[in-house]
Structure 1
């Protein structure tokens, strides 16, 4: 299933940008119309043409909106919005459509394409060193470009606040860029126009965006597309590697000791979900968890992940106190917590493929199986006495291997032993 997409406003733009992704090893397909896009397992980057450059702004918004909804149905999470390198088209309206349909924090835009004489300095687009509004493009018969200052152009086309990332910061490198993007997110700036006068500047923008942890999409010409494609290739290949997922909802100290052994010996990262945040605002909780998962998956070469809930006595007490403040019944709380853990499991599986599962705690195993739509297990071996290995029967993860373990069962290294069993299946 494709997780990445390029949205272009004309067919030639779809081609010149799509080839940047193909050149980095992605299986890339260009669709003449967004309505032609169908689910497929042999395409990694979907490139679609909304043919919206020369239509009116309302129609352009609608086309990108509909295309976005189709891509969401297909599970696409990474977006590159291809625009004309000379700013022709309904750029602001199409950015708005993407911001409204996806859960992005902001859009990072730079039409710079140094190899073709396009650069951005002080927020102004220059073509071969001249303001774009002073070139022949100002007299384009279909879409004349009369504004060179990109923040002003976008402010006239978009309903969102526009910020500017100056060359003085871009030249400082990726850390400075990352810091600026985090500040922009905090200030609710939804569109950031970035200066860039060289390919190195464009690469720094992408590296900085990756470091920032900001959930953004890119807007640019073929110039920005190449460093984005390289960045996506690194991340996507890591995510294409099948991981193992350990899900622990047990607060038994033995279970906590066992998952610590796996983390130490296998180098797996532990993600402790916040069940109270889930109960307060599921949408915000999902956004926060996605950002954390993205950061971990982009930064580490992992064999597996551990999802768990607060487990120390102090942590459990804080969860109970918060639940009471929310008016929740304490007898109902454990069920709510494992439900949050099951939802976190599903969210993780949207971002990364897996080869097998380890489920610790009876309520946890039940909640995850229900979330998967699996109603039974075929058992075929044991890790140790009372710790079986089986395969899900039915549901989304039919026939996937799974180890189930009661919270207090097994020795200190039983989950580490379970990892070894799954490795060899």
Structure 2
């Protein structure tokens, strides 16, 4: 069995889709249990949203529990743009695993996310000049990958190209200008290394292990009653929701004044009731964020996630949904925590990163996840 630790829920789902694509059976869980019957086990954490101490504590615990299962190896799924506590998490996992070095390959050349001579580029522009998630890094961070994983790990980190001598210890960050480089790095892995990086690198590793099988694709029997939770702040994601709204589709935005009152439970309940009525009338409904008032509210992102999770739970108490579709890893994790869903079985990779799965606790409803920066596939985005 191959084990994977993901730092967010949509990343876990994307790994599950890649396992399916390559002919591997897969289970996604939010904690490590004793008995699994699968080729790939993915543990979905939420460490990207945690502080350093809490993230390291969770990675330590999950790694220790996974090692008790004696997996063939443990892959650390990171964000392809190196957001989150990359160095902090890898450092503690390296110590627990007893490995000498990390081979970190986060790039995804197929999406124009490349690393050349230690510089991260998106669409051929250095990442920090592209305004693409730049605000999610510490002030002063450059597009140099050694900066992006954390200043305190610079002395033990190296930007290496294929064919160059690999240091015996430390963080090895692979330059990856082309898709072919992904397979090249997969062929470099040995028992002294902890492999880590994006979904594309994991795909290359699986291809190396096993000849890629054509996934048996069953017809998509998409349920009638569907709730789309669009929690991403990514501008293209917000624009596609607005287009549905303008075309007459059912879009219910989070109430603008929801933070203007100390007790907003009544507003959440009214919003949930409106969503329920709209599902009964139109069947397919989107809930999303447009604009919010009361700018002086502390920790808006956490409050938004909590409200989305609360309203979804209230809706599911009154409506039997057949499809729940969630955009954004942090939003998804908050919702499944509120719903107390634990274990998931990916069934279909509808597009890169768009994964539809069964839920162990709710047999009649499918869950589909998508990262905020990815696009919805036409097969399910129809209004």
Q: TM (normalized to structure 2)?
A: 0.51
Residue segments in structure 1 that go unaligned for 5+ positions in a row:
171-175, 235-425
CA positional deviation for 1:79: 1.5
Partner residue in 1 for 2:149: 154
- 1:139–1:145 CA contact under 8 A, matched in 2: no
Aligned length: 211
- The aligned runs of 1:38-53 (5 Å cut-off) are 38-53=33-48
Residue 163 (structure 1) aligned with residue 125 (structure 2): no
Residue 208 (structure 1) aligned with residue 188 (structure 2): yes
Partner residue in 2 for 1:110: 105
- The aligned runs of 1:17-32 (5 Å cut-off) are 17-31=15-29
Residue 230 (structure 1) aligned with residue 207 (structure 2): yes
* Cα deviation digits, residues 287-322 of structure 1 (max 9, x gap): xxxxxxxxxxxxxxxxxxxxxxxxxxxxxxxxxxxx
Counterpart CA distance in 1 for 2:149 and 2:75 is 17
Residue 90 (structure 1) aligned with residue 71 (structure 2): no
- 2:103–2:172 CA contact under 8 A, matched in 1: yes
Counterpart CA distance in 1 for 2:205 and 2:85 is 22
CA positional deviation for 1:147: 2.8
SS of the residue 2:47 aligns to: coil
RMSD: 2.2
* Cα deviation digits, residues 260-297 of structure 1 (max 9, x gap): xxxxxxxxxxxxxxxxxxxxxxxxxxxxxxxxxxxxxx
CA positional deviation for 1:103: 1.7
Partner residue in 1 for 2:55: 60
Residue 196 (structure 1) aligned with residue 176 (structure 2): yes
- 2:137–2:148 CA contact under 8 A, matched in 1: no
Partner residue in 2 for 1:13: 11
Counterpart CA distance in 1 for 2:136 and 2:91 is 25
- 1:4–1:76 CA contact under 8 A, matched in 2: yes
CA positional deviation for 1:51: 0.3
CA positional deviation for 1:152: 2.8
Whichever of the two has the greater Rg, that structure is 1
Partner residue in 1 for 2:195: 218
Partner residue in 1 for 2:291: none
Q: TM (normalized to structure 1)?
A: 0.46
Counterpart CA distance in 2 for 1:154 and 1:142 is 10
SS of the residue 1:75 aligns to: coil
Residue 119 (structure 1) aligned with residue 114 (structure 2): yes
Counterpart CA distance in 1 for 2:147 and 2:137 is 21
Partner residue in 1 for 2:71: 76
| More contact order relative to length (CA 8 Å, sep ≥ 6) | 2
- 1:92–1:154 CA contact under 8 A, matched in 2: yes
**Which is worse superposed, 108-117 or 129-138?**
129-138
1:83–1:124 distance in 2 versus 1, CA, 3 Å: same
Residue segments in structure 2 that go unaligned for 5+ positions in a row:
212-383
Counterpart CA distance in 1 for 2:160 and 2:134 is 29
Counterpart CA distance in 2 for 1:122 and 1:141 is 23
Counterpart CA distance in 2 for 1:81 and 1:126 is 22
1:227–1:145 distance in 2 versus 1, CA, 3 Å: farther
* Cα deviation digits, residues 329-357 of structure 1 (max 9, x gap): xxxxxxxxxxxxxxxxxxxxxxxxxxxxx
Counterpart CA distance in 1 for 2:117 and 2:195 is 19
CA positional deviation for 1:143: 7.5
CA positional deviation for 1:149: 0.7
- 1:120–1:126 CA contact under 8 A, matched in 2: yes
Counterpart CA distance in 2 for 1:223 and 1:145 is 28
